Amino acid sequence: MSVVVSKQQIIPSEYLAMSEELIAEQIVEKKQRFGDELLILAHHYQKDEIIPFADEIGDSLQLARVAAANRTARHIVFCGVHFMAETADMLTSDEQKVYLPDALAGCSMADMANITQLEDAWEILSEQFDEAIIPITYINSTAAVKAFVGEHGGVIVTSGNAEQILKRVLENNQRVLFLPDQHLGRNTAYHLGIPLAAMALWQPKRTNLVYEGALSDLRVILWQGRCCVHQQYTVKQIKQLRQEIPDLKVIVHPECPIEVVLAADTYGSTKRIIDVVAASPAGTKWAIGTDNNLVNRMIKQFPNHQIISIDDTAFSCITMNRIRLAHLLWTIDEIEAETDLQQVKVDPQTTESSLKALDRMLS
């Protein structure tokens, strides 16, 4: 698998020395000059300074759909992390170029499942079961993992559609391998009625399956991966807030551990979190368990609600926050100079294989 990313990874110092006002002025001017040929996408967890310049803001599913539908932009700047830019490149035409403003903006969760580990796991697990295992990968995974899943009859999911897709797959198959986020897989399967006793944990570093039941009863094999941000929220925090704030409603992301999800009133993707809070009556008190960049914006967005973070000291996604306004201007300048400096490009074979899994998701 070949992915071309950035001939230069360190932003020139002159951009960091510019004032934010001057950077903003130049971005606005250059966006107007490019018109529809430039599309800027930003994930909900981006810094506040990036959001005003985005043409589309959303979660992974929303932005994947925007990238797939757009055929006018020659240049797509993805303010997010590496796997998101890879996905956008695979979903767009050969004439369109996708850029990541900081090539070091990766995803620790995606890195918890590399293609070598997956191939090793597949070989071992396939020998243990008579029936085929269906691989399901979270969109938070590398292009190589997506390609493997595509070639083995699997599908890609997001936190917004995981329940719908996992339900359909389990109706037609005995068991699945869900990677790389064990918590999204566990929470989704549990809410579909799969007992915890029918779930196992695959430990990629030990190439070991942790399971105490009969293999014939096993339905879901969970990869031992997780999101560092969503591990910060705890049942203890929720109980303390409920004691302090009467009538508090709690909503969390499904990347949180299952005990946190069960302690909340409801859970969902970043989009669902926003939609649920927006639809609630004015004055509703909400504690939210997801990236605090989003929570802090929601506090401003919904002034008629009382919104807090489950933990306002929790760190936001470190790699997602690598992208600053200076990176955005630098990327646009390099596009204007036709250097393709920050371009992300997935090779044709990996793209073809990954699209089999992506198409199953988008359909």
SS3 of the chain:
CCEEECCCCCCCHHHHHCCHHHHHHHHHHHHHHHHHHEEEEEECCCCCCCHHHCCEEECHHHHHHHHHHCCCCCEEEEECCHHHHHHHHHHCCCCCEEECCCCCCCCCCHHHCCHHHHHHHHHHHHHHCCCCEEEEEECCCCHHHHHHHHHCCCEEECCCCHHHHHHHHHHHCCEEEEECCHHHHHHHHHHCCCCHHHEEEEECCCCEEECCCCHHHCCEEEECCCCCCHHHCCHHHHHHHHHHCCCEEEEECCCCCHHHHHHCCEECCHHHHHHHHHHCCCCCEEEEECCHHHHHHHHHHCCCCEEEECCCCCCCCCCHHHCCHHHHHHHHHHHHCCCCCCEEEECHHHHHHHHHHHHHHHC
- Rounded Cα distance between 37 and 336, Å, is 11
b/e per residue 91-120 (b: at least 16 CB within 10 A)? bbeeebbbbbbbbebbbbbbbbbbbebbee
- Backbone region of residue 46 per phi and psi (left: phi > 0; alpha: psi in -120 to 50; beta: other values): beta
Q: What is the pLDDT of residue 61?
A: 75
Are the C-beta atoms of 87 and 107 separated by less than 8 Å?
A: no
Domain ranges of the chain: 3-106+319-347, 110-223, 230-309
- Backbone region of residue 283 per phi and psi (left: phi > 0; alpha: psi in -120 to 50; beta: other values): left
Angle between helices 20-34 and 325-336 (to 10 degrees): 40
pLDDT by 10s per residue, the chain, length 363: 455 554 556 899 999 999 999 999 999 999 999 999 999 999 999 999 999 999 999 988 789 889 889 999 999 999 999 999 999 999 999 999 999 999 889 899 999 999 999 999 999 999 999 889 999 999 999 999 999 999 999 999 999 999 999 999 999 989 999 999 999 999 999 999 999 999 999 999 999 999 999 999 999 999 999 999 999 999 999 999 999 999 999 999 999 999 999 999 999 999 999 999 999 999 999 999 999 999 999 999 999 999 999 999 999 998 888 999 999 999 999 999 999 888 999 999 999 999 999 989 877
Q: Do domains 110-223 and 230-309 have the same CATH topology?
A: yes
CATH topology of domain 230-309: Rossmann fold (3.40.50)
What strands, in cross-sheet order, belong to the sheet with 266-267?
Answer: 266-267, 248-252, 285-289, 306-309
| The CATH number fitting domain 3-106+319-347, selected from 3.40.980.10, 3.30.230.10, 3.40.50.10800, 3.40.120.10 | 3.40.50.10800
Q: Give the CATH H-level superfamily of domain 110-223.
A: NadA-like (3.40.50.10800)
Q: What is the pLDDT of residue 97?
A: 95
